[in-house]
Amino acid sequence: MKPLKQNNHMLTRRAFIASAMIGSSNALLTAKWAFGQSNLFERSLPIPPLIDARSVANKISLIAAEGRHKFFPNQPTATSGYSGAILGPTLRFHKGDEIAVTVENRLSRHTTVHWHGLLIPSISDGGPHNLIAPDTSWQTTLKIDQPESTAWFHPHPHGDTARQVYSGLAGMVLINDGSSERLGLPRTYGADDIPLILQERQFNSNGSLRYDDGPQTTMLGARGDTIIVNGVIAPVARVPVGLVRLRLLNGSNARTFDLSFSDARAFHVIASDGGYLPSPVRRTRLIISPGERFELLADFSDARSVLLETGADQFIPMMGMMSGDVSGAAQIIKFEPDPTKLAPIKSIPEKLSTISGIGKVDGLRRRQFVLNDHMMGMRSRNRGLAINGRQYDMTRIDTTVSLGSSEVWEVESGMMAHPFHIHGVQFRILSIDRRKPPMHLQGNKDTVLVPGSAEILVHFSQRATREHPFMYHCHILEHEDAGMMGQYVAT
Ligand code: C2O
Ligand code: CU
Ligand code: CU
């Protein structure tokens, strides 16, 4: 992880600036939930129900509604979810199919459903312009035309995305094109193919979700001292002995995870946001920022229990200065191999995909996007979060690209690292901080963590109109809501 080391100096400087700015004000008050050690890693990992679209004639309906979910025994927490109290079903879509989706909004506020990672025209997507009023519903058709991959869906109403996602609205999408069978990859959902939605939360002592509203939250994003996996704190997953596929989604508002196993065992990254890498990449550590997905093969053939852990989030300008363990190092989930169950897949394929090499980018149009996060001396909570000096405006088109073209986008962060995301595309990372990205970041991506700068090669294959433009934004949801977002048209 050289890029991290390299940035330590800069982060330290940034940390100093941030601490000077926050001063002695009570940075983030953490009401750390004291729950007995005995409760850790005892609750089974819940697996969101799978809806294979073909089993319901490619007609999906989702209900966004408030509910009550038990993070703690005997203490239900007010949450929201899609067709359930928290999160949503996992949807499996098949390449080539057309999916008719109906979303009913039973929330008390406007919402939208954005299909993060899907290559669909903007009119079919639930960006900020496709608002669903309370007690109404929205219909869309998703034409699935992209390689096998893990995507997700979540609300995107401008100014309210962070709170809605924080309250529990998010779900996973599995795009299937037959590759798993062909490659002999683990593919039995919930058994040897396990979805892991990682999120960071803060709780009040009465068990309710805590969302601090204020300039610190705007600046750093909503953070907490508790990590939930598929909506559960510190769960245990009983896994078969052998190779297991983990589909990781960082659905946190702001927190970047630095993942590794407690015994430092290696794993193989097989896919990033947009699908399979050319071949598995062996690693012992994996950084995943908000919005990103990675699929990996974990080897549980020694039948030993192991924890998935995270290091502290190093991509915040306040390391060590926030109270408690906010975005700190933590144990996330325990894997307990069941000696009576053997995983059906025994070997890791050598080749996964034939994604094209990156050709010449010399003649391509280049654009610069500076992610402004200058919050020094901030009074109004939104000031300073912008792109190229402009705060998001739903009525302004910031960028116009031609449909079918490719461009190089140069993205530059300010005081802190930002996960930059673009709707309606999968891109390739040319460089991060002027260096070639590590192997596991060389595949198709729709979100890239930009520590200092990044260059990405973007191909625009999906139409976006003035009425329904596509977004590009920081996936720290508070940054997005506060204006670190722009919109583009592709015609
Ligand atoms: Cu996952 Cu525009 O977002
Ligand atoms: Cu998106
Ligand atoms: Cu940001």
CB of 114 shorter than 6 A to ligand 1:
yes
Whose atoms come closest to the Cα of 375: which ligand?
Answer: 3
What does the pLDDT average to over 308-312?
A: 96
Strand ranges for 242-393 from DSSP E: 243-250, 257-261, 267-272, 275-283, 286-288, 293-299, 306-311, 330-342, 365-373, 385-387
The DSSP secondary structure of 298-330, one letter per residue, reads EE-TT---EEEEEE--TTSTTTTTSSTTTT--E
- For ligand 1, the distance from its centroid to the CA atom of residue 42, given in whole angstroms, is 33
**Is the pTM above the cut of 0.85?**
yes
Q: Whose CA is nearest to atom 3 of ligand 1?
A: 116
CA distance 32 to 189: 34
Q: Which range has the worst mean pLDDT, 119-128, 382-391, 395-404? A: 382-391
In the predicted model, what is the mean pLDDT of residues 97-118?
98
Instruction: Give the closest residue to 117 by CA, choosing from 467, 450, 444, 481.
Output: 444
Cβ atoms of residues 52 and 245 within 8 Å: no
Give the mean pLDDT of the chain.
91
Q: Are 430 and 387 in contact (CB under 8 A)?
A: no
Q: Which of 21-35, 211-225, 295-309 has the highest mean pLDDT?
A: 295-309
- pLDDT tens digits for range 426-443: 999 999 999 999 999 999
Q: Quick one: which H or E segment has residue 232? A: strand 232-233
Q: For residue 419, give the ligand nearest its CA.
A: 3
463 touches ligand 1 (CB under 6 Å): no
Distance 468 CA to ligand 2 centre (A): 14
Cβ 421 under 6 angstroms from ligand 1: yes
- Which has more confidence, 21 or 302? 302
Instruction: Indicate the range of 27-31, 124-128, 184-188 predicted with least confidence.
Output: 27-31
> 467 pLDDT exceeds 70?
yes
Note the ligand closest to the C-alpha atom of 420: 3
Question: What integer pLDDT is reported at residue 74 of this predicted model?
Answer: 87
> Does residue 29 carry a pLDDT above 50?
no
Q: Span 219-240, mean pLDDT?
A: 96
Does residue 18 register a pLDDT over 60? Answer: no
Is residue 210 lining ligand 1, measured as CB closer than 6 Å? no
Ligand 1 atom nearest to CA at 471: 2
Mean pLDDT across 8-22: 37
pLDDT recorded at residue 379: 52
CA-proximal residue: ligand 1, atom 1 (nearest): 116
Which residue did the predictor score with more confidence, 407 or 38? 407
Q: Identify the pLDDT of residue 321.
A: 53
- Has residue 17 got a pLDDT over 80? no
**Domain ranges in the chain?**
8-34+186-342
Q: Residue holding tokens 């008719």?
A: 100
**What is the third-level CATH fold of 8-34+186-342?**
Immunoglobulin-like (2.60.40)
Distance of alpha carbon 215 from alpha carbon 226, whole angstroms: 21
Please tell me the least confidently modeled range out of 30-34, 250-254, 306-310, 409-413.
Answer: 30-34
The response to whether residue 473 sits with its C-beta less than 6 Å from ligand 1 reads: yes
Q: What is the pLDDT of residue 322?
A: 57
Comparison of pLDDT for 25 and 179, the residue scoring more: 179
Q: pLDDT tens digit string along 399-415? A: 999 999 999 999 999 98
Does residue 423 have its Cβ closer than 6 Å to ligand 1? yes
Does any ligand 1 atom lie closer than 6 A to the CB of residue 471? yes
Question: What is the tens place of the pLDDT at every residue in 39-69?
Answer: 799 999 999 999 999 999 999 999 999 999 9
3-state class (DSSP) for residue 90: strand
How far apart are the CA of 332 and the centre of ligand 1, in A?
Answer: 24
At 254, the pLDDT band (50, 70, 90 cuts) reads very high
Does residue 309 register a pLDDT over 50? yes
* Residues paired with residue 35 on neighbouring β-strands, in sequence order: none
Using the predicted structure, report yes or no on whether residue 264 has a pLDDT greater than 60: yes
Q: Which atom of ligand 1 is nearest to the CA of 480?
A: 2
Ligand having the closest approach to the CA of 480: 3
Q: How many Å apart are CA 11 and CA 315, to the nearest integer?
A: 8
Residues 6+ apart with CB under 8 A from 56: none
Q: What is the pLDDT of residue 316?
A: 78
For the four alpha carbons of 113, 116, 119 and 123, in that order, the dihedral sign comes to positive
**Per-residue pLDDT band at 460 (split at 50, 70, 90):** very high
